[in-house]
Structure 1
């Protein structure tokens, strides 16, 4: 608010306006519009930043300053305050439509506000100027547009500045936090009115302006014609008047008049004036310029002559025959005089005297037509003038007009008629018609106040404006009432839609008629009926689906479907199904189910329909009397119409559903679609019953197999809860703690070791373990996953009593250990003597070959004995020698040890260190881990062809340290993978037998891994190589007994 006075001082300028018109009826000059460019900035900024109260106060203060120092109008404070409030409402509204989003932009709001301000400014201009209605209306509508531009230009400047603030400083210009629907969104009537009403108002405004301009043009044209006719009449009489005066004065200026005695001159002059009635003053001068006589003013003297007359008399004495001069009227007179000076010459052309005749324009009979025509303008406030060649007023119809007014027309002297606008000395705008006199440099001027033309234009425009306003009002009322009826109807339809959405489908739509609204109402009614029928169908389908889902008995599941299929004309609904949907039906007998008052009477058609529906999905018989196969059945009832539907589920035919009707009928698409849906539910029910029957039969068979199996078997779900166990499991002492179905495995079995095996992850392989029960027996427990749709859904545990086999294995191990130990000394002796044979004497090549073969055989036997002894120590469960393990150093030692062997086959042997840092507190039996890694790398080198590669990697996998050996060798056949880690097992492939071996290396690796609580797995593809992975847990594990059996690899 403090900046308001400053904005009125700086950046002000005038707009150029040529031909500007002043305010009517005020004696002031028209001023150029003054633009206060910054005057709107305070209240525009306040409207966006402060709010409605601040904007109103700042606008009121700004308007007060403008009104007091600039406009001097009481309307200005209210005008500016109102603009500020409107602008604040525009930029702070929170409506969400595109128009209102743009309206929140400050510059856009300023532009739209300027359009709203134009009619407001015109109204203020209309009310604030003096004059009659026509003058004010003409000034407001046609003469004030530069003032309008001067008013809205500051608004544009303020809007542009506010837009910059809006973009650059968004925190200063609040945005609405939540947008709400606009009035046009909440009401169709409001939306239509907001679209059409501005267009109608613009159209009315344009038509009003056009009507006013056309009426003004017509009135101006009429006024031009009137003034033009008047001035032409007057102008046509002036030459005749002058010519008559010349003729009369020449006829009177004769030598006889000069020769008369002085006492007879006055009588002669009196006679001439009375005889002609043209001159009102005649004066005779002698050759010296002295007055000889005068009439009717006998006392006429030289002092009564004007300067022009004195000059003319002197010229006449010199011989100029005729002269005419004008004498303007006095200030109290309306008409001037015309002086005719004629020289009286003798036969020699010498002036004997001069005759002066004065003619008064006001009373001269020759000028009365012209004066009468000019005087007729006075009835409407107009005036008429006769101007001489100098632009002086010779005649005026009104004494109120000052003689100085002749200055107004001096610059208008022309030889062509001119019609223009001008102002009187009192500031009244008037229309002027300038008509030159033909043959004389005189002119006739007629003026008429502009208000006469404005009043005429108003009289022309008012009827049209009244008709326009009447029609606009009628159109508004008709539009509002018609839209009201439409919106009322739409509200009823909206209420109907709400009731339909709430499920109230009993009441009909109240809209009637044949127009679009009636068609919409009929559509709503059809939608209600269709939706009601559809909901009824859905309710039936819901009940049917619930019955199908809840009941596995085919009779209980299908009977609701048949009941739902019975319509008004349906008297029978039957289902014919295959035998497999029930377990208690033997042979090939079909399962039939019926519903309806006479369903059983049509059972003889079941087999026919069953066979017909194998070849088609839908069978419709609109009139059965026209079908020979059905109508030819003697002494048997048949329906009048029939529709049958095949029951297919997943390309399996389960039977047919058919409905019989009492009368012939046309089957609509909706009815067929509904019955097809019921048929689909019946097919699902039949498929479920068939599956249930098959599953029940399979369950009974499985139960019989489990019951007859002498080995304990337990089945668990995916949550490790007991599902099933056979009688053999209950008979094993110390195996089952609580044989309750649904209990966790930890509570079902007594052995903690077996519980850990049952609850541990098994992924896609079979987990095995030897379990010793409290009764002393040792069982081989095998846990396999039960898979369903690529995911584990349970586990099955099979236990086999291997106590006898363990005793035999122990005896075998003792025997092998004893034999192996006893063989070491003979083998050493044989090796020594064999190597010493070359010392005894020279051996030939054949002998050397025999000795080499003996040495290789002894070395193979030694390796076998050492492997057997190592395997025996591992199987005996000796305690591990745990120490800190450095995996990277260990791998490098193994690679350095086996590099020469790899170089012999040109195999690249490399170590890839892990990307992440390995823990430093890993403990293991370093010698055993090294032995296992040597076996894996040596095997990889052995079965990799020349030029291949073997890569050793270290990784962390599921909290385990993994030694991964990857080769590009010959690969392992899938049939060899399950037995790969068994003792003495070797593949039957030719490529495998080309390499020497004992078949104990991988068994030793497996025993070492299991002694550390880890595992060894293999993935391989023929021709592409193999990947052996030895996993050792990071945390320290207590020694565990060796596992019997072998894991099934994923690959």
Structure 2
């Protein structure tokens, strides 16, 4: 509208669109409103009210006409705006479909305000419905009354127009009659007397007040006379008058001109008649009569009847041939253009004319136009009435009705919430009660007055509250009993809680538990309540009856159960009982029963509660039995651990110490309380033991390590995993035996071997020398050659054994061990190349796989080469022809791992345990022909351990073996310092 309020209207529209798209309420209606194709048109509908108000404010001075203008303009803009909003919504909807992440809301989380209470739901349903109905009724009343007002206005306009239409022929006929009467005057035929002619014209003009000027012409069209005279009147003919004159002189028929301007620019209508002799029909000339449209009394009278229809209308006459205004109360509008709107919808057709709606060209306001063609004449009557007049009349009629409608609608809007609140008050009370119940408050009763459905629901809620309260009290009781039972493992301490709980829950007179022996005989009784004495016979009878049944034994009237107990002995004491077997997995260790002073019927909840208490009793009995068994086992285990001479250490899965036996405390010189709960590495026991616990351990293997003690003793530690029932590792156990004596024996053996080896070296040298010199003494025969070769072979084997023993001793003593950066990749190449000839000679494939990465370790390159060569040599020895030996290098977690794999005969699991011991050789039929000293793998182990690494084997019988050497790699810092 280009008004000052336009920015606010657009801002309001943008706010509405943003709100509709970003609201995250749950439900179908919010989901539909969140779609752009709906949000944009809906926002336009709401924003149009702003447009209506802003438009009306600009023309508020016009009153009801301004309101009509604002409504009409808003309605005219609404359809295009809705189409624009729909198009924009479709575009944004397509963008959201192509890229869903652009949606401002992906999932709704909030509950709509109208769905939070039942009262709001009803209000959301009824209030908009009432408002819509009120607006529909207001619209219907307004439209009906407006139609009636329009109909009345059109009827009045039609009456005024029809009256004026009847005056038009009279006006025309009057002019024609007068001019014809004047033309028949005999005086006009006296052409030779101009004065008489002028006097005649003057007399005719003054006879009737119709014409403003009369003129007489002869047969040649020359003016003979005129009145008023030339000095006063208009002597010149217009073109249209000249044409009329020619037709009259030629045809002799009277003529009427159209309304046109005179030479003096005055709207005139000309009447012309021939001047003839009525007896001879001789034509002497023609008479012209002029009347001005602004002062003709007959025309003024007809126009006066067209004005002030409903005090606001205006009427005029138009010439239908040229669509010019020929008669109007405003002289300035004479001969102005006006044309009927043939295509405009006709409101009504009344008295040969019709009415339609148009716009006032001066102020663009609505107006009613009634158009009536004059029958038999090319003129038409037009009456225009401002639509404001119709609206004012409709307003006067509709105001009381509309006020009544709005009053009723407003009353309903006020009454409906009050009625809704009154109707939903019981439901609100029920909801509040449900909330209290959900929060655990069961103390307040629920009372809903009345006998309707809501009241019955309230009664059901009250019953549910009472039952739930009883149930929660039972559960609370069971919880307290369960906590008390779980807090003790002794029957004398736990049973009273169960018995007191049974008394409190059932309001019984006495509660008793009869403990049974393994044979099912009553052994001991625990009781609560009164009486406690004199019920032994009933205890035995109930125990005997209940121990062999699976369900509770219910006796509602003990006097009738003569098979259970003699009524005479129980007279006045117990009248009803319920007995339950206390059943564990495989036996019935007890029977629990409660007694009542009067006969009664037991409900299901009471029986269920007692059954639960019986189950708690079974748990207590079972726990006590298990505790006694576990305590006995614990004592036996403690005795075993205390009496054994081996040190035992147990840790959890995080290597925290759980147990040290006395032998371990004495071995490490610590107290158990000081180290229990600490990690092995933090307990300061022994570094070697801490290293064993830091190494990864599979469930199926055990780690062994020699643990030197500060006092010089040595323990042999074997660490194994502790597994749960489902195979999960839950800790470790280390068993350590004192092997100091064995170490001393091993050192003595090593010294002896070293001495013997050193003492044997010289004799062996003599033997080899003299044996090789035998051929120099004389030629030997074939048998002698065979003996000499056997002597040399035996001497060579003994020399190799002595060399291996000396090497092993030197390695274990650390003599000559150098520390320098060693490239394992290069060492592997040298070791493999040195063994390639032996592999080819045996028909094997010796393959060196490319290393994954560069591995540099700190150590003695010669010894490392010897260790790898020993492994490759072993693989070649125990792999048959056409087999494969593979050597590779891996890098894992700063550890260089050398692996030597073969496809040989494999090693049995029992032999793998002792494989790296000195002088140990696998004794199998297929290895008898393979020669060796049994020291090669021992030398490998000694070399690897001297370099801070470890060696192990992974083998499967008859499928091959893989030996691994793992060595710590040098860090970048150590390499930089060494460089």
Q: TM-score band (shorter)?
A: 0.5 to 0.7
Q: Secondary structure at the match of 2:909?
A: coil
- Counterpart selection for 1:696 from 631, 634, 637: 631
Q: What is the rounded CA distance, in whole Å, between the counterparts of 2:638 and 2:301 in structure 1?
A: 142
Structure 2 counterparts to residues 357-376 of structure 1, below 5 A: 374=306
Structure 2 counterparts to residues 81-480 of structure 1, below 5 A: 97-98=23-24, 118-129=48-59, 133-143=63-73, 184=113, 216=146, 218-232=148-162, 234-235=164-165, 320=252, 341=273, 346=278, 349-351=281-283, 374=306, 377=309, 381-383=313-315, 385=317, 401-402=330-331, 404-405=333-334, 407-409=336-338, 419-421=356-358, 423=360, 430-459=367-396, 461-463=398-400, 465-478=402-415, 480=417
Q: What is the rounded CA distance, in whole Å, between the counterparts of 2:675 and 2:339 in structure 1?
A: 128
Question: Using a 3 Å threshold, how does the CA distance of structure 1 residues 489 and 229 change in structure 2: closer, same or farther?
Answer: same
Which blocks of at least 5 consecutive residues in structure 1 are unaligned?
1-32, 36-70, 160-174, 580-584, 614-618, 1037-1051
Q: What is the rounded CA distance, in whole Å, between the counterparts of 1:646 and 1:913 in structure 2?
A: 72
Q: CA shift at 1:462, angstroms?
A: 3.6
CA contact (8 A) 2:754 2:806 kept: yes
Structure 2 counterparts to residues 1011-1022 of structure 1, below 5 A: 1015-1022=950-957
Question: Using a 3 Å threshold, how does the CA distance of structure 1 residues 491 and 919 change in structure 2: closer, same or farther?
Answer: farther
Q: CA shift at 1:242, angstroms?
A: 6.6
Q: What is the rounded CA distance, in whole Å, between the counterparts of 1:809 and 1:768 in structure 2?
A: 16
Structure 1 match to 2:881:
946
Structure 2 match to 1:882:
817
Q: What is the rounded CA distance, in whole Å, between the counterparts of 1:300 and 1:897 in structure 2?
A: 156
Q: What is the rounded CA distance, in whole Å, between the counterparts of 1:287 and 1:771 in structure 2?
A: 166
CA contact (8 A) 1:575 1:655 kept: no
Question: Using a 3 Å threshold, how does the CA distance of structure 1 residues 729 and 641 change in structure 2: closer, same or farther?
Answer: same
Q: CA shift at 1:717, angstroms?
A: 4.6
1:882-912 alpha-carbon deviations (Å, 9 max, x no partner): 2135362544443333222222333333455
Q: CA shift at 1:451, angstroms?
A: 2.4
Structure 2 match to 1:58:
none
Q: Secondary structure at the match of 2:601?
A: coil
CA contact (8 A) 2:370 2:382 kept: yes
Question: Using a 3 Å threshold, how does the CA distance of structure 1 residues 695 and 394 change in structure 2: closer, same or farther?
Answer: closer
Which blocks of at least 5 consecutive residues in structure 2 are unaligned?
90-103, 344-351, 972-979
Q: CA shift at 1:520, angstroms?
A: 9.0
Question: Using a 3 Å threshold, how does the CA distance of structure 1 residues 935 and 119 change in structure 2: closer, same or farther?
Answer: closer
RMSD: 7.0
Q: What is the rounded CA distance, in whole Å, between the counterparts of 2:371 and 2:222 in structure 1?
A: 41
Q: What is the rounded CA distance, in whole Å, between the counterparts of 1:425 and 1:956 in structure 2?
A: 100
1:689-722 alpha-carbon deviations (Å, 9 max, x no partner): 3432222221233344456x56355455556758
Q: CA shift at 1:138, angstroms?
A: 1.4
Question: Using a 3 Å threshold, how does the CA distance of structure 1 residues 942 and 419 change in structure 2: closer, same or farther?
Answer: same
Q: What is the rounded CA distance, in whole Å, between the counterparts of 1:336 and 1:657 in structure 2?
A: 135
CA contact (8 A) 1:565 1:678 kept: yes
- Counterpart selection for 2:905 from 970, 973, 976: 970
1:642-668 alpha-carbon deviations (Å, 9 max, x no partner): 69688677xx77878877686434526
Q: Secondary structure at the match of 1:407?
A: coil
| 2:488 corresponds to 1:551 | yes
Structure 2 match to 1:791:
729
| 2:962 corresponds to 1:1027 | yes
- Counterpart selection for 1:711 from 645, 668, 674: 645
Q: CA shift at 1:455, angstroms?
A: 1.8
| 2:936 corresponds to 1:1001 | yes
CA contact (8 A) 1:328 1:393 kept: no
Q: CA shift at 1:279, angstroms?
A: 10
Structure 2 counterparts to residues 475-514 of structure 1, below 5 A: 475-478=412-415, 480-481=417-418, 504-508=441-445
CA contact (8 A) 1:737 1:747 kept: no
CA contact (8 A) 2:520 2:547 kept: no
Q: Secondary structure at the match of 2:52?
A: helix
Q: CA shift at 1:395, angstroms?
A: 6.7
Q: How many residues align?
A: 898
Q: CA shift at 1:881, angstroms?
A: 1.9
Q: What is the rounded CA distance, in whole Å, between the counterparts of 1:800 and 1:291 in structure 2?
A: 168
Q: CA shift at 1:233, angstroms?
A: 5.4
CA contact (8 A) 2:818 2:860 kept: yes
Structure 2 match to 1:898:
835
Question: Using a 3 Å threshold, how does the CA distance of structure 1 residues 388 and 498 change in structure 2: closer, same or farther?
Answer: closer
Q: What is the rounded CA distance, in whole Å, between the counterparts of 2:609 and 2:23 in structure 1?
A: 44
CA contact (8 A) 2:20 2:33 kept: no
1:217-243 alpha-carbon deviations (Å, 9 max, x no partner): 554344334423543455467658877
Q: CA shift at 1:786, angstroms?
A: 6.3
Q: What is the rounded CA distance, in whole Å, between the counterparts of 2:970 and 2:182 in structure 1?
A: 158
Q: What is the rounded CA distance, in whole Å, between the counterparts of 2:743 and 2:242 in structure 1?
A: 173
CA contact (8 A) 1:234 1:371 kept: yes
Q: What is the rounded CA distance, in whole Å, between the counterparts of 1:714 and 1:851 in structure 2?
A: 58
CA contact (8 A) 1:1017 1:1030 kept: yes
CA contact (8 A) 2:542 2:564 kept: no
Q: What is the rounded CA distance, in whole Å, between the counterparts of 2:286 and 2:367 in structure 1?
A: 45
CA contact (8 A) 1:964 1:1029 kept: yes
Q: Secondary structure at the match of 1:433?
A: strand
Q: What is the rounded CA distance, in whole Å, between the counterparts of 1:366 and 1:674 in structure 2?
A: 117
| 2:767 corresponds to 1:767 | no
CA contact (8 A) 2:123 2:420 kept: no
Structure 2 counterparts to residues 739-758 of structure 1, below 5 A: 741-743=673-675, 757=689
- Greater Cα offset, 431-440 or 990-999: 990-999
Q: What is the rounded CA distance, in whole Å, between the counterparts of 1:807 and 1:301 in structure 2?
A: 172
Question: Using a 3 Å threshold, how does the CA distance of structure 1 residues 425 and 991 change in structure 2: closer, same or farther?
Answer: closer
Q: Secondary structure at the match of 2:875?
A: helix
CA contact (8 A) 1:907 1:948 kept: yes
Q: CA shift at 1:497, angstroms?
A: 7.4
Q: What is the rounded CA distance, in whole Å, between the counterparts of 1:114 and 1:343 in structure 2?
A: 76
Q: What is the rounded CA distance, in whole Å, between the counterparts of 2:385 and 2:484 in structure 1?
A: 102
Q: Secondary structure at the match of 1:902?
A: helix
Structure 2 counterparts to residues 710-729 of structure 1, below 5 A: 711=645, 713-718=647-652, 723=659, 725=661
Q: What is the rounded CA distance, in whole Å, between the counterparts of 2:581 and 2:23 in structure 1?
A: 54
